């Protein structure tokens, strides 16, 4: 049973829109009733406008399809580039909702965003169809009413997940033709969602501190990002120190508590059970055992980290607020801090070459940059 307390809805607004789970203070998409005789068309079902400066607009995520890179962002903007340097806007995208995540398997791609929108492209991002839309309904009291989707992840061309606010997790096994809810969170009657295999208890008894209760009492945390490790396990990072892992392809999930109270906005999976999570106030956590134990890495910044890319044996680039970029060549190496010349908020990254040129997305669109 869900608690009667409901968090303020989260949103993506102006230049700090990429901190999708930071403030949670802007309405998800709740709309006022129209006073006109005919209600205005819902933007989530309208075709995105082609705009002359779309390539410099707010872009929230990037993905590599087989033939080109794809970028998604505000107002349903979708950009593509074969060269990863020259970008163009795609016409006919069937939504004006803000798009927050994109993933590709071969030349098939999916994008997700506000109003529960899921789009699909069969040709590497050149054309798109809408597979799902679920805008806010003032007559509904469903927990996921109008919930935005924040990330999408595909294992192959048929099997994938879309995740978002209030522990919303959707799964498909037919390339997105149908989507079903995946239950997450607390077992029935246990709002604290403590995992018996993860939380260590004293042999005789244990008492949670006030701080522990404050962290764990939210049974429906926003799910921010998903990754897969080399052994096939899946890992989700969420708000308020919550995380989830699956070792059976997403059939069942186990809730974890991270050794950091704040929200984590991204996660990268490497070989074995190696994961790198990052998020609020420059926090970077690394685990070699799928979250059983963690090491906090020195990031050299308290700026929030919003996106990242990984390569090889633990190599990574992490990006975030005020143009911060952190890089390392491989596991065990120190994170090196850089600042993008624009000092803009950065939301996502693709690595063109390991420890070299990056494609960066953020509030000023998409750029290529090589850290010094």
How many Å apart are CA 307 and CA 299, to the nearest integer?
A: 14
pLDDT of residue 143 exceeding 70:
yes
pLDDT for the residue 185: 53
Q: How far apart are CA 71 and CA 84, in angstroms?
A: 10
Residue 6 lies in a domain: no
Three-class DSSP category at 237: strand
The reply to whether 330 falls in a domain is yes
Per-residue model confidence as pLDDT tens digits over 327-351: 999 998 999 999 999 899 999 999 9
The per-residue DSSP string of 217-230 comes to T-SSPPEEEEEE-T
pLDDT band at 184 (very low <50, low <70, confident <90, very high): confident
Helix (H, G, I), strand (E, B) or coil at 125: coil
**Is pLDDT larger for residue 289 or for residue 183?**
289
DSSP 33: P
Q: Cα separation of 96 and 113, whole Å?
A: 10
Nearest to 100 by CA among 266, 301, 240: 266
Q: Is residue 213 part of a domain?
A: no
CB atoms within 10 A of CB 347: 28
Question: Is the model's pLDDT at 363 over the cut of 50?
Answer: yes
State pTM to two decimals. Answer: 0.84
Confidence of residue 219 (pLDDT cuts 50, 70, 90): confident
CB atoms within 10 A of CB 6: 10
Give the pLDDT band of residue 357 (cuts 50, 70, 90): very high
In a domain, 103, yes or no: no
CA distances (Å), 306 to each of 17, 44, 72, 101, 356, in order?
A: 11, 25, 15, 12, 20
- Choose between 28 and 53: higher pLDDT: 53
348, part of any domain:
yes
- Per DSSP, the three-state class of 268 is strand
170-194: string of b/e by CB count within 10 Å (b at 16+)? bbbeebbeebeebebbbeeeebbbb
Q: For all residues of the chain together, what is the average pLDDT?
A: 85
User: What distance in Å separates the CA atoms of residue 280 and residue 300, rounded to the nearest whole number?
Assistant: 13
Provide the number of structural domains found in the chain: 1
pLDDT band at 77 (very low <50, low <70, confident <90, very high): very high
Whether 26 has a pLDDT exceeding 50, the answer reads no
Rounded Cα–Cα distance for residues 130 and 246 (Å): 28
Q: How would residue 37 be classed by pLDDT, with cut points 50, 70 and 90?
A: low
* 323 within domain boundaries: yes
Q: Give the whole-number percent of the chain exceeding pLDDT 70.
A: 80
Rounded to an integer, the average pLDDT of 212-225 is 71
Question: 275-288 pLDDT, tens per residue?
Answer: 999 999 999 999 99
Taking the CA atoms of the chain, what radius of gyration do you get in angstroms?
Answer: 20
> Residue 62 above 70 pLDDT?
yes
The whole domain housing 344 covers 316-372
Model confidence at 4: pLDDT above 90: no
Query: In this model, does residue 251 exceed pLDDT 70?
Result: yes
Are the CB atoms for 86 and 60 separated by under 8 Å?
A: no
Asked if the structure places residue 187 within a domain, the reply is: no
Higher pLDDT, 38 or 274: 274
- Residue reference for tokens 């060269």: 83
Q: Give the per-residue pLDDT at 97.
A: 98
Q: Is 44 helix (H, G, I), strand (E, B) or coil?
A: helix
Answer yes or no: is 246 within a domain.
no
pLDDT of residue 87: 97
HSE-CB at 125 with a 13 A cutoff on CA atoms is 28
The b-or-e profile of 26-38 (16+ CB within 10 A means b, else e) is: eebbebeeeeeee
Q: Are 197 and 254 spatial neighbours (Cβ–Cβ below 8 Å)? A: yes
- Which residue has tokens 């809408």? 130
Mean pLDDT of 136-158: 94
What integer pLDDT is reported at residue 198 of this predicted model?
Answer: 35
- DSSP single-letter state for residue 273: B
């Amino acid at each position: 049973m869900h608690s009667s307390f409901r968090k303020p809805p989260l949103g993506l607004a102006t230049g700090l829109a990429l901190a999708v789970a930071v403030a949670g203070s802007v309405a998800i998409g709740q709309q006022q009733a129209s006073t006109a005789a005919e209600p205005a068309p819902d933007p989530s079902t309208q075709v995105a406008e082609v705009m002359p400066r779309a390539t410099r607009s707010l872009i929230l995520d990037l993905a590599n399809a087989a033939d080109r890179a794809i970028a998604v962002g505000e107002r349903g903007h979708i950009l593509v580039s074969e060269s990863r340097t020259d970008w163009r806007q795609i016409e006919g995208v069937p939504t004006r909702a803000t798009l927050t995540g994109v993933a590709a398997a071969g030349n098939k791609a999916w994008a997700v965003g506000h109003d529960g929108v899921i789009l699909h492209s069969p040709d590497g991002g050149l054309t798109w169809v809408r597979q799902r839309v679920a805008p806010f309904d003032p007559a509904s009291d469903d927990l996921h009413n109008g919930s935005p989707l924040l990330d999408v992840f595909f294992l192959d061309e048929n099997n994938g997940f879309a995740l978002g606010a209030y522990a919303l997790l959707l799964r498909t096994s037919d390339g997105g033709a149908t989507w079903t809810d995946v239950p997450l969170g607390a077992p029935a009657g246990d709002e604290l969602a403590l995992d018996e295999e993860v939380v260590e208890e004293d042999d005789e008894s244990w008492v949670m501190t006030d701080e522990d209760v404050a962290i764990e009492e939210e049974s429906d945390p926003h799910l921010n990002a998903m990754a897969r490790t080399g052994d096939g396990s899946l890992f989700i990072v969420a708000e308020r120190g919550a995380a989830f892992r699956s070792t059976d392809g997403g059939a069942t999930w186990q809730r974890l508590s991270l050794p950091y109270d704040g929200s984590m906005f991204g996660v990268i999976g490497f070989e074995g059970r190696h994961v790198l999570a990052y998020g609020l106030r420059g926090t970077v956590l690394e685990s070699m055992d799928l979250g059983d134990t963690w090491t906090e890495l020195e990031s050299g910044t308290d700026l929030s980290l919003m996106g990242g890319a990984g390569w090889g044996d633990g190599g990574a680039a992490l990006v975030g607020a005020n143009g911060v970029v952190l890089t390392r060549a491989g596991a065990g190496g120190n994170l090196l801090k850089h600042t993008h010349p624009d000092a803009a908020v950065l939301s996502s990254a693709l690595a063109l070459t390991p420890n070299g040129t990056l494609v960066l997305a953020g509030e000023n669109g998409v750029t290529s940059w090589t850290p010094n």
